[in-house]
Amino acid sequence: MSVPKRMNDSVHWFMNDLSSRIIAQTGIPNDRFHLGKLIFQSLKDDPEFLLQIDGSTGESETNGSVLKRSIQCAIALTNLGLKREDIIVIMAPNHIHLTIPFYASLYIGVGTSAVDRTLGPIELKECFEVSRPKVIFCQNEKVTDVQLALDKLDHNAHIITFDNGDYLLNYEEFLRKYGDDTSVDHFRPSDFDPEKTTALLIATSGTTGLPKSATVTHKNIAITNPYLWIKESQFPSPTRMVLICSPMQWMTAIINFVLSPIIRYTRLQSTESITPEHAAYIIDKYKPTFTIMSPTLMTTLLKNGLAKNCDMSCFELIYLAGSAVSRELLEDVKQVMPHTEVRNIFGMTELSSIAFMQDNGPIESCGKPLGCFQYRLVSLETKKDIIEPNISGELWVNGPGIFKEYYNNPQATLETFAEDRWFKTGDMFYRDEHYNYYYVERIKLLLKYRNHQISPLELETVIRQHPAVQDVAVAGIPDAECGDLPVACVVIRTGHTVTAQEIKDLVKDNLTDTKQLRGGVIFLNEIPMTANTKIHRRKLKELVLTMDKE
């Protein structure tokens, strides 16, 4: 008989032991939150441990190798003239070189802005205008776009390519020119205040508006990230290997890039994008035991039969995160992986990690509150706190894990915080009488038909019940008289058929008159996605405004 796992303090005992050893060496109490020193010491503790594998190329690397290379990079960045609170940009696939400048920047108090490598010159200009980076690490194929963006800003930055370039410094040349191998053995991470020092700038555009960069400090991450493992009791190495499904600009990847050397588990990442087919291939080959995956990617793996073909029973634990997780999906996963623990997780960039943890409550809940945060549910109408269970309100959160600010954007920072630095998440939740929290909808995504609020998520959940529907996303088209008219964008499952009228009838049979698909139905080959496999809501909006609807 297996005993259900419950939230406990084991991960905090482990982190306290690690940070106490560091403080004993430095005599600086705040070093318990210094990510550079935590990673540096962890890499030293077990130099032979296999830290990372590139599932596309088969390359791998130990802690010892990563430690040496990251120290060399830190020395080179320092000799290049970078100082505390300067910013570097990293935009590259998840190859084994990706985290080397990231760890190096954490050692010396330089912030890292991880940027989507698919962006073009105009979008890169917007990013660089905010961060004003001193160094940009990228692939040679992106150099032209990067240079065009910098030229438009009249901003100079050192461009360093991870691979061989035609005329710019590549990574090895950068180390030879600015590095100093004789100093590696004597290197120590810099002293600085981790509560104030930027660790990361993370792009977060929300649902609408221009992109913003959330400033996340060392202390933010050091406090919140260990809660990812709050239900485990075996440390180090609560799991053997994590599959990283997201690019570096997303928190779901950053959490594992930070924690893998500290908690000590192997990262399985890939130079190739994690398509469903590539995911199935590397899962079958390497047998990872843990992953954070989007509901959309999981749905595709299940409905295309890829999950069965690659035997996903190797997973001990799967977090589904990034968008709403339906009860039906959770039950489907359990059918294919009956011995895998699957958790519905809600997190945000601005929280620098997850917000709740499942503690053997209802599977569709996001879980119970964590000790690093305080929580409020606030009525959208009255702006007063909701005390009673089962009533929806906006989730407000407070605590030392909340991000510092939107970088160089005081207006956006002011708008997102209430009095006493309560962070207004923009997400609707309710809780039950046992303090299990349930996600309802992103406030800005709510549609309004004749003053009746409509949740796209509710419509999507109903439509997904049809056996011919592989995926669906709902958006609205504006109507001068009625407000918003819901439109269902549907992807049909291979080998099946369904008509627009059947989709409309399904909604009619299950939901009230105000929630009907008055905008129609659009059939797509695929739902537009962001790089993190979330629904790309702005592109979806463009489609429903321009395409013919049935």
Residue-wise pLDDT for 538-550, tens only, equals 788 888 888 787 8
Measure Cα distances from 451 to 447, 483, 515 in Å.
9, 8, 12
**In 3D, which of 419, 410, 398, 441 has the Cα closest to residue 212?**
410
pLDDT in tens, 219-245: 999 999 999 999 999 999 999 999 999
Mutual orientation of helices 35-45 and 10-26 as an angle, nearest 10°? 100
434 within domain boundaries:
no
Give the pLDDT mean for 36-45. 98
- What CA–CA distance (Å, rounded) separates 511 from 429? 21
Non-local CB neighbours of 388 within 8 Å, separated by 6+ positions? none
Give the pLDDT mean for 38-57. 98
In Å, the largest CA–CA distance within the chain is 74
Domain assignment of residue 30, given as a range: 10-229
CB 470 within 8 A of CB 493: yes
Q: Please tell me the pTM assigned to this model.
A: 0.85
Residue 491 or 445, more confident: 491
Is 493's pLDDT higher than 80? Answer: yes
The pair phi, psi for residue 245, each rounded to 5°, is -100, -15
Non-local CB neighbours of 379 within 8 Å, separated by 6+ positions? 385, 386, 393, 394
Q: How many domains does the chain have?
A: 2
Measure Cα distances from 281 to 268, 298, 306, 307, 308 in Å.
12, 14, 9, 10, 12
Both tokens of 293, joined, read 């995956």
Give the pLDDT mean for 60-85. 97
**Which of 12-16, 404-408, 506-510 comes out lowest in average pLDDT?**
506-510
The dihedral sign for the CA sequence 244, 346, 105, 261: negative
The secondary structure of residue 493, as a DSSP letter, is P
The pair phi, psi for residue 79, each rounded to 5°, is -65, -25
Is 301's pLDDT higher than 80? Answer: yes
pLDDT in tens, 112-136: 999 989 888 988 998 999 999 999 9
145 within domain boundaries:
yes
Give the pLDDT mean for 466-490. 88
What per-residue confidence (pLDDT) applies to 451?
64
What per-residue confidence (pLDDT) applies to 208?
40
Q: DSSP strand E in 414-515: where? A: 423-431, 437-442, 447-449, 452-454, 469-479, 483-492
What per-residue confidence (pLDDT) applies to 206?
46
Is 537's pLDDT higher than 80? Answer: no
Is 532's pLDDT higher than 80? Answer: no
What per-residue confidence (pLDDT) applies to 479?
82
Non-local CB neighbours of 373 within 8 Å, separated by 6+ positions? 351, 355, 397, 398, 399, 401, 402
Is 186's pLDDT higher than 60? Answer: yes
The gap from C-alpha 231 to its chain's centroid, in whole angstroms, comes to 20
Give the pLDDT mean for 205-220. 75
281 within domain boundaries:
no
What per-residue confidence (pLDDT) applies to 102?
98
395 within domain boundaries:
no
What per-residue confidence (pLDDT) applies to 494?
87
The dihedral sign for the CA sequence 250, 256, 259, 261: negative
**In 3D, which of 140, 68, 67, 59 has the Cα closest to residue 95?**
59
CB 302 within 8 A of CB 333: yes
Mean pLDDT of the chain: 91
CATH number of residue 112's parent domain: 3.40.50.12780
501 within domain boundaries:
yes
Is 469's pLDDT higher than 50? Answer: yes
- What CA–CA distance (Å, rounded) separates 169 from 137? 10
Give the pLDDT mean for 250-278. 95
What is the edge-to-edge ordering of all strands in the sheet holding 169-170?
169-170, 158-161, 135-138, 87-91, 111-114, 198-203, 213-217, 405-406
Owner of token pair 């006493």: 420
- What CA–CA distance (Å, rounded) separates 395 from 153? 38
What per-residue confidence (pLDDT) applies to 490?
93
What per-residue confidence (pLDDT) applies to 209?
46
Of the residues 229, 264, 281, which one is the last residue of a structural domain? 229
126 within domain boundaries:
yes
- Percentage, residues of the chain above pLDDT 70: 97
The secondary structure of residue 3, as a DSSP letter, is P
Give the pLDDT mean for 488-507. 92
Amino acid at 481: E
- What CA–CA distance (Å, rounded) separates 471 from 498? 13
Of the residues 159, 194, 229, which one is the last residue of a structural domain? 229
65 within domain boundaries:
yes
284 within domain boundaries:
no
Of the residues 196, 229, 262, which one is the last residue of a structural domain? 229
CB 82 within 8 A of CB 108: yes
β-pair type (169-170, 158-161): parallel
CATH number of residue 512's parent domain: 3.30.300.30
The pair phi, psi for residue 276, each rounded to 5°, is -55, -40
What per-residue confidence (pLDDT) applies to 305?
74
Is 207's pLDDT higher than 50? Answer: no
Angle value at C-alpha 432, between 430 and 436, nearest 5 degrees: 85
DSSP bridge partners of 529: 535
Is 366's pLDDT higher than 50? Answer: yes
DSSP bridge partners of 255: none
